Each structure stands twice: as C-alpha cells, then as structure tokens.
Structure 1
Amino acid sequence: MKPLTNAEALTAVKESITQIIPDADFTRVEPDDKFRDVLEFDSLDFLGLVERLTERTEVRIDEEDYPELTTLSDAARFLVERTAHRS
C-alpha cells in the first residue's frame, strides 16, 4: 500500500469512526479536540476504531500507539508517518 496523504488519512479516520457511530457529527469536532470525548466514544468503540483503521490502512497499531490517536489531526499524522515508513 502506498503512503497516505494527510487528507487520505483524515478521511480514513472519519470514515472508520462513522462505521462505529453512524451519526457522528464532525462539525462538533475541531482537528485538535479529543474526538473520543466529543463523540462520546467508549473503550470498545475505540478498540473498534483501531481494528478498522488497521484493516483499512494495513498499519499495525499497538496499545502504546493509542495516545497518538487522541485527536483527528494526531490520528491522521500517525497514519501518514506509519505509511511513509513502510518497507
């Protein structure tokens, strides 16, 4: 899989969130807001998001990476960096 652009990574994050919370209102979420708080994600929702992002982007996301997935912009940056460094 080719490296993701920031826009592609952000789309992947938003679409994956929408699979978990179909009525997620991204107009309420600023790029640097903690989306789990704003969208009322619980722990199981978050694990579902990790699973969907892994399936969609083929990026391995370990538990120590979870703090990188706090905001929409952080999550997109994480995916961009991980896809850029694949061999």
Structure 2
Amino acid sequence: MSEDEIRAVVLEELGNIAPEADMSAVDPKADLREELDIDSMDFLNFITALHDRLGVNVPELDYPKLTTVDGAVVYLQGKRTE
C-alpha cells in the first residue's frame, strides 16, 4: 500500500470520527486531538478503525506516534512493510 493510499485511509477514518471537520484543511503536522477537537475515546476509535482497515496492531505505547496525520502515515507504512 502506498503512502498516498495510507494517507487517504487515515483521513477517511478521521472524517468518520470528526464528520464536521474539513479533512482537506487538516494540517498534517498538527496534533489531531487539538486540530479536530477529539477526545481520548475518539482517538481510540480512530486507532481501532485503522487496525480494522489496515490490519496493523498499534500498542498503547505507540499511540503518541499517531497523533498527527504525517506521524500516523509514517508509522502505519513502516508497520505494513515489517
């Protein structure tokens, strides 16, 4: 799966969690919780959705690596190639 495809999945799942947000305006380097005003439960739902879509297990210790769009893409791409 390419970086662009992973980015599309990340943005789609964020859009499902924060439907009122404009995903095209999300700063890929900004903290998702602040940028989209999501709480910890929303973030956990996001992680679960990524696992379901991409088959990547994300241990709790790695959650901070997925707090930005860019961080999530890099992390997920690395895990899918392992």
TM normalised by structure 1 equals 0.87
Name the aligned partner's letter for residue 30 of structure 1: D
2:38 aligned residue:
41
Q: Structure 2: which 5+ residue stretches go unaligned?
A: none
- Match of residue 58 from structure 2: 61
Structure 2 distance, partners of 1:27, 1:19, is 14
2:17 is aligned with 1:20: yes
- Give RMSD over aligned pairs: 1.1
State the match for 2:72 in structure 1: 75
Of the two, which has the highest radius of gyration?
A: 1
The equivalent of 2:2 in structure 1 is 5
The one-letter amino acid paired with 1:75 is A
Aligned length: 82
User: Relative contact order: is structure 1 or structure 2 higher (C-alpha 8 Å, sep ≥ 6)?
Assistant: 1
Q: Please tell me the residue identity of whatever aligns with 1:41.
A: I
Whichever residue aligns with residue 61 of structure 2, its letter is: E
Please report the TM-score for the alignment, with normalisation by the length of structure 2. 0.92
Q: Which runs of 4+ in 1 moved over 3 A?
A: none
Deviations 1:12-69 (A, max 9, x none): 1111111111122224421111121110010000010011000000000110110110
Q: Which segments of 5 or more consecutive residues in structure 1 lack a partner in the other structure?
A: none
SS in 2 for 1:22: coil
